[in-house]
Copies of this chain bind each other. A is one copy, B any other.
Amino acid sequence: MNALEKLFTRIVQRININLREQEFDAGPYVWDLIPKSQMTKFYAFYGISPDHPLNLQFRHSGLAGSYFLGKIQVTNSLLYKTDVRGDELKKKDDHFQFGKFEIPVSKDEEIVIEDSAFVKTLIHNYSHDPETLEKFFIKDTISTHYANIHGSPSDGCFLGPFSTVDLTTMRDSVIGTFSYVQAGEISHLNVDPGTVWVNSPHSFNFLYRFPLEKLKKYIHFEAGKQPEGILMDFVEDRKQDFQRVFDVVNIDPPANIPATASLDRYAVVNSVVEIGENVLVSQRAYLENSVLGKGANAQENCFIINSWLEGNNVTAHGAKIIEADMGADVFVGFNSFLRGQADSRLTIGSECIVMPHTIIDITAPLTVPPGHLIWGLIQNKDDLKTNSMPLSELAAVETAFFRGSMFFEGSGSDFVSAFKGRIHHILEANGAFYNKDANTGQGHAQRNQNMSFNTIQPYPRGDQEGLFPTILIQP
């Protein structure tokens, strides 16, 4: 057994110890997911820019195909084609407002990854846990394909494919396939596959469960197998296009990108794509024959194909938009899959909020009126009736109600304003409101321009094959 295999075995054992109460064994799920022979094949890389102070520390880890930006420590871990961005962390002397507490940040926050393994996982944002402001820790954690760990410290957890944990500190928990959790703090929980859960204690609670038999067609994961279904096939079918952008050292950007927009050099752009002012297209985004209006942002791992986005749209991490027309200010949450057809387009009215992990998959044209909340699985007009409601109607709710497989309780108005506030913040942070003349409102779209990328590779042979040397990058 070489050093890489020993490390992997050790990580699996640690997760299993953390999850012993639930008698969960991560081994059968992950033995074949991290292809040991592939760990030497793909370079990892990190970004250099004056706008993102660096502190990268890699020790005794495999990093194949992974990307890093900002302040990140990785020790005794395997990060396979994973994307970790430590460029949105809190800074020394920031103040973090949590309820009535205004907590000073005593030193620059760092993402600290230890004894963990990730497959194609996105780790972003900052720790929203008021208990640990300076350290966004992820330890003894295994995460599988296209999962998102977003502002969520984790200790002893397993995340299924296409799952998202958002602004939530998690301990000793299993997050099921395609589940979305935003709940502040969870512990010793086993979240079933296909759960969409947004909980703000003392304020509101949103809970939806996908019908598992129907979800299976889209994504399904069982021990000893690779994840399967339309979502996997969809991304696998487009792998070659990404290979192309990783195989060359420099790519000239298309000529028609406005000076206020940024298109990451590791994004894929197929056929004619129109990019408006203040647009942010992030790493590993995939654009094909589409229009992105002013201030729209296409986040990591999203796909936008044959679609028209009016402006100030958020297409969150891992969301897919195909054959669709999106009004202004539409938000599409994490890992959503919105698929119209060439002859049956999907139209979503302005200011709609598409909940994270929503699947719209239609064979007849479908139109969502403006200002609606949309969630769950929608395959036709009837599904839409059950799985959507005007935001104004939701804002009036003060107690609780069921609608189809969705349950809501608490303050609808708090829920709507929390969501709207967050969308505004995302647009702001991404530079959607940048004013060129006044040079105000700079965000990622402006700051991510003209970044340098450095590649790193592991030992190509010997006992340490697949593991990287110790690498420290500091300002």
* 4 A-B pairs with the lowest CB-CB distances in the bound complex, closest first: A50-B462, A452-B457, A472-B472, A470-B474
Q: Per-position contact with B for A41-84: 1 when CB-CB < 8 Å, else 0? A: 00100001111001000000000000000000000000000000
**Residue with the highest number of chain B CB atoms closer than 10 Å, among A452, A453, A465, A473:** A452
Contact of A247 among B54, B249, B457 (CB under 8 A): B249
Residue A186 interfacial (CB < 8 Å)? no
Residues of B within 8 A of A473 (CB): 469-472
CA of A460 to CA of B50, assembled, Å = 8
Which of chain B's residues has its CB closest to A456's CB?
B454
Q: Say if the beta carbon of A6 comes within 8 Å of chain B.
A: no
Main secondary structure of the interface of A (DSSP, over half): loop
Q: Is A451 an interface residue (CB 8 A)?
A: yes
Q: Are B458 and A48 in contact (CB under 8 A)?
A: yes
Which residue in chain B gives the minimum CB-CB distance to A475?
B469
In whole Å, how far is A88's beta carbon from the nearest beta carbon of chain B? 19
B455 near A249 with CB under 8 A, answer yes
Distance, CA A461 to CA B246, complexed state (A): 23
- Least Cβ distance of A466 to chain B in Å? 11
Is A405's beta carbon under 8 Å from chain B?
no
Closest B residue by C-beta to A453: B457
CA A366 to CA B231, docked complex, whole Å: 71
Given A473-B471, A474-B470, A459 and B49 contact (CB-CB distance below 8 Å): yes
Is residue A9 contacting chain B, with contact meaning CB distance below 8 A?
Answer: no
Chain B residues closer than 8 Å to A54, beta-carbon distance:
469
Quote the shortest CB–CB distance from A388 to chain B (angstroms). Answer: 45
A464 on interface, CB distance cutoff 8 Å: yes
A50 with B459, Cβ < 8 A, contacts A249-B43, A250-B247 known? yes
Q: Which of chain B's residues have a CB closer than 8 A to the CB of A452? A: 40, 43, 457-460
Which residues of B have CB within 8 Å of A435? Answer: none
Q: Does A463 contact B (CB under 8 A)?
A: yes
- Note all chain B residues with C-beta closer than 8 A to A454: 43, 454-457
Residue of A247, A462, A470 contacting most chain B CB atoms (<10 Å): A470
Residue A1 at the chain B interface, CB threshold 8 Å: no
The answer to whether A460 and B451 have CB atoms under 8 Å apart is yes
